[in-house]
Copies of this chain bind each other. A is one copy, B any other.
């Protein structure tokens, strides 16, 4: 079962136990994956539900629900100040590592103002990576927000902000207890002092990712690996 190909479908495509396939999905299944009528794959709605599905000439039949658990017990939101380049290459590993939501942030040091095309591309990457890494859910990639707006509107019980060059406690020393955690990570040059102060005023606790200086595209991946590892190592023992 684990080796079957996965395809994300939208709720509107599902009618009882039938999935109406879009032309690009038919192309993907028949041409790219080279499946034939009668072959099986896994259809997932991106919200946590998956079904064993059988390909038919013009639709797919849902045979039975598949119960598995590949999501983290705590929903991780990452607020990421947009780096100059390389954000595409961040979304994919973050999805593999289990992020629930990514909030692109326009910070004081952000230079990029992403086009709608970029956002669409990041969402497509998240969907592909969710299929390939065998996740149950597709992470949400929100529209970009200013840091101030994000601090006020993004809700999370536990709030952390990564600060370089400080004496903050290591991220891995934080006991993850809440049902949701939000971690804010800066771009090239890090957060400004004013941004850190504003975050602390919004109950964000400064944490460290270690002694070395990580690039803006490495820090989120390292943070997500630590957040996932901290949760799964506790569960798997």
A225 in contact (CB, < 8 A): yes
Contact with B along A211-229 (1 / 0, CB 8 A): 1111101100111011011
User: What residue of chain B has the Cβ atom nearest to residue A217's Cβ?
Assistant: B93
Min Cβ gap A66→B in Å is: 14
Known contacts A211-B70, A213-B96, A214-B97; is A173 also within 8 Å of B221 by CB? Answer: no
Interface-central residue, A172, A208, A221, A228, by most chain B CB under 10 Å: A172
Q: Assembly of this chain: how many copies? A: 2
Measured between beta carbons, the chain B residues less than 8 angstroms from A85 are none
Partner of A135, one of B165, B212, B233: B212
User: What residue of chain B has the Cβ atom nearest to residue A230's Cβ?
Assistant: B172
Contact with B along A170-213 (1 / 0, CB 8 A): 11110000000000000000000000000000000000111111
B210 touches A228 (CB 8 A): yes
A97 touches B213 (CB 8 A): no
| Chain A residues in the interface with B (C-beta under 8 A) | 2, 69-70, 89, 92-93, 96-98, 132-135, 165, 169-173, 208-215, 217-218, 221-223, 225-226, 228-230, 232-233, 236-237
